[in-house]
Copies of this chain bind each other. A is one copy, B any other.
Amino acid sequence: MIIDCHGHFTTAPAALGQWREQQITAFNDGMQAPRPSALQISDDEIRLAIEPWQLKFLHERGSDMILFSPIASHMGHSVGDEAVSRVWSQVANDLVHRACRLYPQHLAPVCQLPQSPGASPAGCIEELRRCVEDLGFVGCNLNPDPSGGFWRDPPITDPWWYPLYEEMVRLDVPAMIHVSGSCLHCVHTTGAHYLHGDTTAFMQMLTSDLFDRFPTLRFVIPHGGGAIPYHWGRYRGIAQDMGRDIDELLSNVFFDTCVYHSNGLEMLLKTIPSKNILFASEMLGAVRGVNPDTGHYYDDTKYYFDELDMLDPKDAQLIFEDNVRAIYPRLNAHLDALT
């Protein structure tokens, strides 16, 4: 079985974005916000938004399942306030939940959290619990910088975040570290801000004792781990200079394979232990085109595995299926319910 741990509902029906626009406009103008029930999307519209895209690519590429979450760049934690973020998260998560209910054999839900700059992460617990316990979500996306580039909140290793971590541990769900859109004109969202979020969050972990306190807390760093695996020697050396061992993080930190060329993937596979790598493509994400040299979509990361042909069956089994089941254990219940 091949499970892609990183997909977003980037093809959601336009009505979702229109609802969100109305919500933001209402907040900015001090008007009554639209009700969640004002968003009307039929099951057929959801099918039409997914079948020609994520499901088509899933089948074409020979994968089986996607961990499916709301559009990352539209989480927009920096917009509005905590109340706005709470309602928007419910709306976005509910739509993902409906999509996953339509295709439970192919989509398992991952939620966004109602983060907001300056608001305690404890405020996310209710929505996390609703998603996981009531709706069967298997994990969440956690934004290490709700301010969208200003890094105004404490680092993710600060006690500020502990209440949320306690609930994640209790529910036994991991978080994918994922920023939302960049609020800085100079910093491109998918080309710079995303990778910076990944890299910075890892560096925060490397300079803290977070996992001593939360030994079962698990974070997935997407986009191939940002700059981290490429600079593994740098991080290993920085850790050593601090009297630490970088390998200690590997009980709690995992990297996905959203790297869109085979040289990059090869480096990742050579550098990071297989038990810490999760197959992923981020489809449909930052890159939509076909590589003219190969005839394959850039985000067809399965193709790079085939091209490299360097994994033994045991490592492949870890990367394509076993790791994601171990890190997102609620996925097993989701899969068991299908049979």
* Interface residues in chain A, defined as those with a beta carbon under 8 Å from any beta carbon in chain B: 144-145, 149-151, 153-155, 184-188, 190-192, 195-196, 199-200, 203-204, 206-207, 223-224, 226-227, 229-238, 240-241, 259-261, 263-264, 266-267, 270-271, 286-289, 291, 298-299
Contacts and interface: CB of A to CB of B under 8 A. Distances in A.
A234 B189 CA distance: 13
Contact of A151 (B184, B232, B233): B184
A289 B245 CA distance: 13
A330 to B, nearest CB: 30
Given A207-B188, A230-B227, A266-B267, A237 B287 contact: yes
Given A259-B231, A267-B230, A196 B191 contact: no
22 contacts: A150-B150, A186-B200, A187-B203, A188-B200, A192-B199, A195-B227, A195-B231, A196-B196, A196-B200, A223-B231, A226-B227, A230-B264, A232-B261, A233-B260, A233-B261, A234-B259, A234-B260, A236-B260, A236-B291, A237-B286, A241-B289, A261-B271
A301 B150 CA distance: 34
Identical chains bound together, number: 2
A289 B237 contact: yes
Nearest to A154: B186
Contacts of A153: 186
Nearest to A183: B151
A194 to B, nearest CB: 9
A259 B240 contact: no
A32 B24 CA distance: 50
A229 B289 CA distance: 19
A223 B199 CA distance: 14
Contacts of A260: 231-234, 236-237
Contacts of A188: 200, 203-204, 207
Contact of A190 (B155, B230, B238): B238
Contacts of A263: 232, 267, 270-271
Given A227-B199, A237-B289, A288-B241, A185 B267 contact: no
B196 A151 contact: no
A186 B204 contact: yes
Contact of A259 (B150, B203, B230): B230
Contacts of A145: 186
A300 B235 CA distance: 15
Given A200-B188, A261-B271, A236 B298 contact: yes
Contacts of A204: 186, 188
B187 A151 contact: yes
Given A231-B264, A238-B287, 15 more contacts: A151-B185, A153-B186, A188-B203, A192-B196, A195-B231, A199-B227, A226-B227, A233-B259, A234-B286, A236-B261, A236-B291, A236-B298, A240-B298, A241-B287, A266-B267
A299 B241 CA distance: 13
